[in-house]
Amino acid sequence: MTDLVAVWEVALSDGVHKIEFEHGTTSGKRVVYVDGKELIRKEWMFKLVGKETFTVGASKTKATINIDAVSGFAYEYTLEINGKSLKKYMENRSKTTNTWILSLGGMDYRVVLEKDTMDVWCNGQKMETAGEFVEDGTETHFSVGDHSCCIKAVSSGKRKEGIIHTLIVNDREIPEAVE
């Protein structure tokens, strides 16, 4: 019998990770899985509330599952990423990254730009890039297979919008994905 009580999906630069949590409310058992791999297993814990902390993804992002008693034998499970609630983390992440999903030659790719470092990730791998200044902004060049890719960064001209990043693959603009 499984004591699976919570499942979360967390989008990081190296991919979307699935976090599963088992909590045996009679035995106190706690099991954490990330992408189907068991990371933490604790049997027979007398304290049924508390937290479990672990890392997720290639960049070893800190994650914490909080276990709180709601009433009687009911429990609430919340996930924090880098010390922020999952909702807050994802809201902040949408400001600090751009994500594109594209299909090339029958293969699906997820390209992520980390705006603070200008690092580019594709399907979990940090890409080798070459940046250059151009007349209206910057271009970051990289390759996916034998396809040349470029992320153009140009000013929106509006202070609140800031810089607009556009992915161009084989001279075609790719629409940004909403995660």
Per-residue pLDDT band at 146 (split at 50, 70, 90): confident
Res 94: pLDDT:
85
Per-residue pLDDT band at 74 (split at 50, 70, 90): confident
Q: Are 66 and 51 in contact (CB under 8 A)?
A: yes
Q: Are 48 and 143 in contact (CB under 8 A)?
A: no
Q: Is it the case that residue 84 has pLDDT exceeding 90?
A: yes
Res 110: pLDDT:
94
Q: Is it the case that residue 1 has pLDDT exceeding 70?
A: no
Query: Which of helix, strand or coil describes residue 133?
Result: strand
Q: Is it the case that residue 179 has pLDDT exceeding 90?
A: no
Single pTM value for the model: 0.84
Distant-in-sequence, close-in-space partners of 77: CB < 8 Å, separation ≥ 6: 5, 6, 21, 23, 65, 66, 67, 68
Q: Is 65 exposed, middle or buried (0-12, 13-18, 19+ CB in 10 A)?
A: buried
pLDDT in tens, 98-125: 999 999 888 999 999 999 899 999 998 9
Q: Is it the case that residue 2 has pLDDT exceeding 90?
A: no
pLDDT in tens, 37-61: 999 999 987 788 899 999 999 889 9
Tokens describing residue 179: 């995660």
How many other CB atoms are found less than 10 A from the CB of residue 19?
A: 21
* Domains (range + CATH), the chain: 4-82 (2.40.128.180), 96-174 (2.40.128.180)
For all residues of the chain together, what is the average pLDDT? 91
